[in-house]
Structure formats: structure tokens, C-alpha cells
């Protein structure tokens, strides 16, 4: 199954909903199963990883199974090791068996990687190396990170209600280039005998062009506004970025393009986040800005992501980390992973109805007042990860329409 960016079609936001994932519906994927394939069956690679990863993946798997059974879908789940768990078991963070399973699947659902236990490992033996390697091997170059404020959680935001209410933006982050992958990189000694560390921020024109095209297409079907974030007043790589994005804008006359330096963008996201609709930026800036944008919503535990390429399986994961401090304590918020599963269905498998069922279930569970500690407020019901999963399952089964009140 190919989670292809070029073949996405987008629907407008319904007035009763604020969740931006409802803007997107896949039209067709180049590896789509033949129409005669019934019941529909897909191979999903599950990568629980470290910390709270296994807890939230367990919930998402149950939700996928239920939503799938109700919509005539079957799955072949293949669970594999990644990150610290893989290091402990095999000595490497991304075993060949894991990579092969991911490449041969229809989609990949990841929990989280990393933890204090492996912080002092050499770079090639750090859990996070597995994530970078997986993205590169799957050739997923576009990371879509929505940041939408749920009306039920507007008071959970650290920003004033009037600032946070109505925020609905999308960060389109280039994922496989830039300083995280650029060479040369490493350690050396300078002319004074001091130890130095160095990295290279580098982009080729084709890398910028393909992420720009993806972002323009997304912006076209949202509000028609695209802000490209760079540091073109200092960095040559950003100068090329701005040059290429500006040139490509000529192909999208219906999209209003603006440019912003990353330091200003980081301030504007806090001062007036509603000015943004779609943001496109490089790997490192996107990494930082998308995490900043996530906190406008009230919790990083609410936000999913999709990483897509021109073909092949997509990679779907919550944007939160492994949270080792709360791992194994039934405190994790599984909403982001469940919503990542909905993105998997929508983008990776073209299963719109099942995805919609899960999205509706998340909204219904919030409407019924269930919260984990990170989004708890007076008057709501504090529950653990497992119970919240059970409540989501109830909502999946009842399939309460989005926007309905209980």
C-alpha cells in the first residue's frame, strides 16, 4: 500500500468540527488493493518501542481491531522491536528483521523510542538512531503534524482562551534532509587542540521542491495560506529554500505565500497562532516548531502525525516521546496514538469510514468527560490509559456522529 502524497484529495472543514484531520481524505494510492479483495486485509507493522510506547500501542491496536471489524477490515499485525527495546534484545536499535517487516507492510504504527537508560550510549547505539534510520529507509520525506485545539480542551492550553480558541494549523516538515542527515558530521580537533563537534545543514533543490509541492497542495485545500519558515538572513541552505519555494509558488496562484524567519515564527506561534494555517519548513525547524505548536492545544499527548513518501508504506506515530517517568504506571495519554491510527487508516489504507469512526470516538470520549492527567481539569473524570482505551472502544462501537453532544 502506497501512502502517496501526490494523490491526496482534501475536503473542507465541517462547521461543527475543529479537528483538522477532517480536512483530508485520500483519493487514491498507487498500491491500492484490487476492488475484488474482500474482506479487505492489510499487514500492519507495530513498533511499540520504549517507555509508554507499549501502553499506547496496545490501546491503538484494540481500537484498530474494533473499528476494522465494524467496517469489514482485517489486519495481520506484526509486532517488532525498535529503539531501546531492540538494543537490549539484539544489540542494535533497528534490527534488520524490523526494517524488513516495515518495508513489506501496508503501514507502520510506532509508539515511542528512547529513555534515560540509553542516554550515554554511543550515537549509533542510541534508540533515536532507529527512528531516523526507519524514516530514511521508508523514504518518507513529508511529516504532517496537525495542531488543532479541541473545543473540549481549550482551557487545558497554557495560553489565554482568546488566543488558543479556534487554532487549527498544520506543520509540514521536511523529514529526511537537512542537518539531521547532512554530511560531513562528526567530531574533530581544531587548530587550538580543542575538541569540536560539527554538523551540516544541506538541502538539494529536489528535496525542497517536493516538500514545497506537498505543502502547497495541502494549503490549497485548507484556507489557501502557506507560510514558509526559514533563516534566509543567515543560512545559505535557507536562502536556497526560500528561492525554490518562491519559484514553485508560481504554480499555485491560488495560494497566498508568505515567508517568516524561524525566530519570529516561534514568537508568533505564541503571540497569535491563529494567523497560521499551513506552515512548511525544514527538518530541524519543523521538529521544534511542531512541538511548540502542540502545546497550544493543551497537551502533546493529543497530537498524531503522518510521515509519507511518494510510494511505499507510511509511518504513523504520536509526536510525544517515550515519557520514561510515567512508563508502566497507567498514566499515559493514548489519544495521540489512537489518532495516529486514524491517520494510518485514512492516509495509508484509504479506509475513510473506519478512520472517521475512530475520530468520532475520540471526540465522543472527550465529550463524555474522560481525561488522563495531562489534560485533566476540574469537573472531568480522571482515568488511566487502560480505562481511557476502554471508553474510546465504547465510543467506536456506538459511532456517535462528530459534533453530537451527550
Residues 6+ apart with CB under 8 A from 161: 154, 155
Query: How does pLDDT run along the chain (406 residues), one tens digit per residue?
Result: 445 554 343 333 333 333 333 333 333 333 444 333 456 999 999 999 999 999 999 999 999 999 999 999 999 999 999 999 999 999 999 999 999 999 999 999 999 999 999 999 999 999 999 998 999 899 999 999 999 899 989 988 889 999 999 999 999 999 999 999 999 999 999 999 999 999 999 999 999 999 999 999 989 988 999 999 999 999 999 999 999 999 999 999 999 999 999 999 999 999 999 999 999 999 999 999 998 998 898 888 899 999 999 888 999 999 899 999 999 999 999 999 999 999 999 888 989 999 999 999 999 999 999 999 999 989 999 999 999 999 999 999 998 775 544 3
Peptide bond into 351 cis (omega under 30): no
Outline where 139-204 has alpha helix (H): 161-164
Of the residues 221, 291, 331, 394, only one is catalytic, namely 291
The pLDDT value recorded for residue 1 is 45
Of 287, 346, 364, 374, the active-site residue reads 287
**Residue 287 annotated to the active site:** yes
The whole-number pLDDT of residue 297 equals 87
Query: What phi and psi, each to the nearest 5 degrees, are found at residue 389?
Result: -60, -40
364: annotated active-site residue: no
User: Catalytic annotation on 76?
Assistant: no
What is the structure's pLDDT at 277?
97
User: Which of the residues 76, 155, 263, 325 is marked catalytic?
Assistant: 263
> For position 99, what pLDDT does the model report?
98
C-alpha cell at 16: 461543527
Which residue out of 42, 180, 203, 252 is catalytically annotated?
A: 180
Q: Kindly name the residue from 168, 231, 252, 277 that is annotated as catalytic.
A: 231
Distances (CA, A) of 290 to 124, 156, 185, 346: 26, 18, 25, 21
| Beta-strand runs (E) in 199-298 | 225-230, 256-261, 278-281
Q: Given this model, what pLDDT does residue 27 score?
A: 30
pLDDT attached to residue 347 = 82
Cell output for 62: 484494540
Q: Which pLDDT does position 402 carry in this prediction?
A: 58
- What does the pLDDT read at residue 38? 52
Beta bridge partners of 112: 49
Question: Which domains are assigned to the chain?
Answer: 39-145+303-399 (3.40.718.10), 154-298 (3.40.718.10)
pTM: 0.81
Amino acid at each position: 500500500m502506497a501512502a502517496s502524497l501526490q494523490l491526496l484529495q482534501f475536503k473542507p472543514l465541517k462547521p461543527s468540527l475543529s479537528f483538522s484531520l477532517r480536512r483530508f481524505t485520500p483519493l487514491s494510492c498507487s498500491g491500492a488493493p484490487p476492488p475484488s479483495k474482500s474482506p479487505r486485509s492489510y499487514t500492519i507493522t507495530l513498533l511499540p518501542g520504549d517507555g509508554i510506547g507499549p501502553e499506547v500501542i496496545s490501546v491503538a491496536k484494540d481500537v484498530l481491531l474494533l473499528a476494522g471489524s465494524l467496517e469489514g477490515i482485517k489486519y495481520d499485525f506484526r509486532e517488532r522491536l525498535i529503539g531501546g527495546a531492540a538494543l537490549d534484545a539484539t544489540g542494535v536499535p533497528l534490527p534488520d528483521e524490523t526494517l524488513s517487516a516495515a518495508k513489506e507492510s501496508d503501514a507502520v504504527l510506532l509508539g515511542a523510542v528512547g529513555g534515560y537508560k540509553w542516554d550515554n550510549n554511543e550515537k549509533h547505539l542510541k534508540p533515536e538512531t532507529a527512528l531516523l534510520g526507519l524514516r530514511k529507509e521508508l523514504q518518507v520525506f513529508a511529516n504532517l503534524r496537525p495542531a488543532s485545539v479541541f473545543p473540549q480542551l481549550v482551557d487545558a492550553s497554557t495560553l489565554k482562551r482568546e488566543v488558543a480558541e479556534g487554532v487549527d494549523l498544520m506543520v509540514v516538515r521536511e523529514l529526511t534532509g537537512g542537518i539531521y542527515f547532512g554530511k560531513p558530521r562528526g567530531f574533530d580537533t581544531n587548530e587550538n587542540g580543542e575538541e569540536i563537534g560539527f554538523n551540516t545543514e544541506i538541502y538539494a533543490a529536489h528535496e525542497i521542491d517536493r516538500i514545497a509541492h506537498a505543502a502547497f497542495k495541502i494549503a490549497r485545500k485548507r484556507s489557501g495560506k502557506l507560510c514558509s519558515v526559514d533563516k534566509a538572513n543567515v543560512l545559505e541552505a535557507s536562502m536556497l529554500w526560500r528561492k525554490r519555494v518562491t519559484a514553485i509558488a508560481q504554480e499555485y496562484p491560488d495560494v497566498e505565500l508568505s515567508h517568516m524567519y524561524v525566530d519570529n515564527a516561534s514568537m508568533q506561534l505564541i503571540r497569535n497562532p491563529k494567523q497560521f494555517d499551513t506552515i512548511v519548513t525544514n527538518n530541524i525547524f519543523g521538529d521544534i516548531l511542531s512541538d511548540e505548536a502542540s502545546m497550544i492545544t493543551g497537551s502533546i499527548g493529543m497530537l498524531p502525525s503522518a510521515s509519507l513518501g511518494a510510494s511505499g508504506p507510511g509511518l504513523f506515530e504520536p509526536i510525544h516521546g517515550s515519557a520514561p517517568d510515567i512508563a508502566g504506571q497507567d498514566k499515559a495519554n493514548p489519544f495521540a496514538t489512537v489518532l495516529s491510527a486514524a491517520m494510518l487508516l485514512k492516509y495509508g489504507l484509504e479506509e475513510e469510514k473506519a478512520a472517521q469512526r475512530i475520530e468520532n470516538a475520540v471526540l465522543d470520549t472527550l465529550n463524555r468527560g474522560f481525561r488522563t492527567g495531562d489534560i485533566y481539569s476540574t469537573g472531568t473524570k480522571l482515568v488511566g490509559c487502560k480505562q481511557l482505551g476502554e471508553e474510546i472502544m465504547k465510543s467506536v462501537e456506538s459511532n456517535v456522529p462528530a459534533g453530537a453532544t451527550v
